[in-house]
Amino acid sequence: MATIEDVARVAGVSTATVSYVINDTRRVSDPLRLRVLRAMEETNYHPNNVARSLRVGQTKTIGLIIPDSANAFFAEVGRGLQDRSHSRGFSVILCNTDGDPSRESAYIDLLINKQVDGLVFVASGDNAASTRVASTHGVPIVVVDRHLAGIEVDEVVADNLKGAIMATEYLLKLGHTRIGCITGLSDVSPSADRAKGYRQTMKAAGLELDETLIIKGDFQCRSGGFAMQTLLALPSPPTAVVACNDLMAIGAISTACAAGLRVPQDVSIIGFDDIGLAAVTNPPLTTVAQPKYAMGTVAADLLVERIRNPQAPYRRWLLPTELVIRQSCATPIRP
């Protein structure tokens, strides 16, 4: 590969001049600039960004650490992040952790060694996550989707509490009173917030909280099915259930149908996330949408702002959630 020196030789100038025309960082007279450009063509010159990075101390690269890029939710966030990062001049290195804390810190180390300019991190929920975030030795980091306690950092999260409240209120308004809830693992904040929203709304409606109606899932499709089985086996099963994410909602619908129930006639099910396929499940899923793509773009913006200005005050973005009504919820037949 041709180097800047080859270009300089061909053009009959110094490497400094070549650099100046490449980066447009100082006036160069027109005849010379032309000769340089021609020489670049001729030698098929591609600037070596790693040499550049070494010199200027910036790689124009950020790291994305997420549990699973194949998960519809994270995939969408990642897409938003990549798009916006690119338009801001940054590339992104993708790292999957499956929520494993040891892989999280391994990737953090790796990325720091690679001299990324910043990190966006969807942390697993364990209580040491905060300390991992703090271990970046000054590399800017923004935390997405999950709130981490006890640490000052840029954050972008969806308004999960409000979302769960909207979902529950919607079911109440339809006339349901016996409403179940399939939660996620309690140590990640979105999951906890959604469960909280459900509880809070039920209480506010003057309904006593039946703990047997609250089943713990793990955000995977399958667990929604199991939870639904448990709920249906109850002496007095719920007429509606709020699932804390779409995958579990879909699993729940699947199980309900297999049990011979009709959704929404016999049981209403509402999800959370609004993943792409929620619109085309059968029945189409009523759910509360998270601004997944926007979470990615906002994270990118937040991160490059911080890279530009490391001492700016920390910011926390709370993005709105939205109820999207489709066909998986209806008025109960026997209220």
Partner DNA sequence: CGGCGAGTGTTAAACGTTTCAGCCCTCAAC
Partner DNA sequence: GTTGAGGGCTGAAACGTTTAACACTCGCCG
Pairing of strands 268-273, 118-121: unpaired
Query: Shortest Cβ distance from residue 222 to a copy of itself (Å)?
Result: 9
State which of residues 160, 201, 281, 286 lies at the interface with a copy of itself (CB under 8 A): 281
Contact between 44 and DNA per CB under 7 A: no
Q: How many residues belong to the site for a copy of itself (CB under 8 A)? A: 51
Contact between 75 and DNA per CB under 7 A: no
Backbone angles phi, psi at 68, to 5 degrees: -160, 110
Q: In three state form, how does the secondary structure of 251-284 look?
A: HHHHHHHHCCCCCCCCCEEEEEECCHHHHHCCCC
Contact between 3 and a copy of itself per CB under 8 A: no
User: Could you tell me which stretch among 32-40, 193-201, 251-259, 308-316 binds a copy of itself (CB under 8 A)?
Assistant: 251-259
- Which 75-114 positions form the footprint of a copy of itself (CB under 8 A)? 75-76, 78-79, 82-83, 86, 91-96, 109-110, 112-114
Contact between 250 and a copy of itself per CB under 8 A: yes
User: Could you tell me which stretch among 18-26, 27-35, 66-74, 202-210 binds a copy of itself (CB under 8 A)?
Assistant: 66-74
User: Where are the alpha helices (H) located in the chain, listed in sequence order?
Assistant: 4-11, 15-23, 30-43, 49-56, 72-87, 101-113, 129-134, 160-174, 189-204, 221-232, 246-258, 292-308
Sheet strand arrangement including 179-183: 214-216, 179-183, 240-243, 268-273, 286-289, 322-324
For 280, half-sphere exposure in the C-beta direction (CA atoms, 13 angstrom radius) is 2
Residues that bind DNA (CB under 7 A): 1, 3-5, 12-20, 22-23, 25-29, 31-32, 45-48, 51-52, 54-57
Task: Provide the binding-site residues for a copy of itself, judged by CB under 8 A.
Answer: 1, 44, 46-51, 53-54, 59, 61, 64, 68-70, 72, 75-76, 78-79, 82-83, 86, 91-96, 109-110, 112-115, 137, 221, 250-251, 253-254, 257, 276-277, 279-284
